[in-house]
Amino acid sequence: MKRICVFCGSSPGAKPEYVQAAKQLGNALVDKNIGLVYGGGSLGLMGVIGNAVLEQGGEVIGVIPRDLAEKKVALTKLPDLRIVDSMHQRKAMMAELAGAFIALPGGLGTIEEFFEAVTWTQLGVHKKPCGLLNVGQFFDKLIDFLDYVVEQQFIKVEHRSMILVDKSPETLLKKIKGFQPPNVDKAAWALSLANNESKHPMQTKPPRTLP
């Protein structure tokens, strides 16, 4: 695996553990000779991990939309900073350059980018592993929600298992290295649920007549 794409916040977050985790992940990537692909920002956890890898001589590719670069938030000292025209182009380029995806703590953009990558793995667009670095129990409630969605039959167990989770950067990288995508067709699974429902429709009580 030559490179891993890391999604993370443009804020440092409320806990110092988040910044420390970004540094540790950057160090782990360099130790394993894995390049970093990320959003090219200089602020928050984005800047922390970009600088951490860069300062140790690791490969860093930043990909940032032109409008954000013009707002002076790009890490301009990167030797490989790629400026694109839209967020869609940014995500497509990062996915093309990387062999796996990791999410550090972050906000809406981080969550959206990570789950788009997971969805592409689920649909077979690619077979790249996706992991959550669950530092400081940041993703605990999200993980609980995903398990609830499985219970409600909107995610198959095998697809839920695609999301690798660990609090240690080194252990998460080991899980990513050993990842095998599930051989499950989402469309076939959804059709089987629909067929089962048509054969056994839910029994509903007649509406109560008001006096």
pLDDT digits (tens, 9 = 90+) for 64-117: 999 999 999 999 999 999 999 999 999 999 999 999 999 999 999 999 999 999
Residue 71: phi, psi to the nearest 5? -90, 10
Number of domains in the chain: 1
Q: Whose CA is closest to 182, among 132, 133, 118, 105?
A: 118
Domain carrying residue 84:
3-199
Q: Whose CA is closest to 18, among 29, 36, 6, 30?
A: 6
Domain CATH code at residue 184: 3.40.50.450
Q: Taking the model in full, what pTM does it have?
A: 0.88
pLDDT digits (tens, 9 = 90+) for 14-50: 999 999 999 999 999 999 999 999 999 999 999 999 9
211 within some domain: no
205 within some domain: no
133 within some domain: yes
Question: Whole-angstrom Cα distance, residue 166 to residue 204?
Answer: 43
Spatial neighbors of 47 by CB under 8 A, at least 6 apart, are 41, 75
208 within some domain: no
173 within some domain: yes
